[in-house]
Amino acid sequence: MTPGDNEPQKIETRIGPLEFTHDFANGFPTDATVARLYDERDFQRACQAYLWSLPAVSFDRPRLELVRVFPVLLANRGLPRSLLAVA
């Protein structure tokens, strides 16, 4: 280890600076860095949940329109009542 390895280290990232005790490999993140990383993780999870829900939402709207426009035709095709329910 070199003499400067025991000093706190700051790494610049796209979410802002991340600070670590000692050096990055041997140190621990500061409380502010931990909070920032948890906030970023929550943001990424929210983005993924939104992106994963898009197909389900986009498939449901045409079904609702079909039920609204052609209720008699769809009822005679043997579709389950759960698919014919309009919320």
Q: What burial class does residue 9 get, using C-beta atoms within 10 Å of its C-beta: 0-12 exposed, 13-18 middle, 19+ buried?
A: middle
Name the band, by pLDDT with cuts 50, 70 and 90, for residue 1.
very low
Asked whether the predicted pLDDT for residue 36 surpasses 60, the reply is yes
Q: Please give the tally of structural domains in the chain.
A: 1
Pairing relationship of beta strands 16-20 and 9-13 according to DSSP bridges: antiparallel
Mean pLDDT of all residues in 4-31: 83
State percent of the chain over pLDDT 70: 72
- For the chain, state the CA radius of gyration: 26
Asked whether the predicted pLDDT for residue 63 surpasses 70, the reply is yes
Asked whether the predicted pLDDT for residue 57 surpasses 60, the reply is yes
Domain containing residue 48: 3-84
- Single out the residue of 26, 6, 9, 27 nearest to residue 18, CA to CA: 9
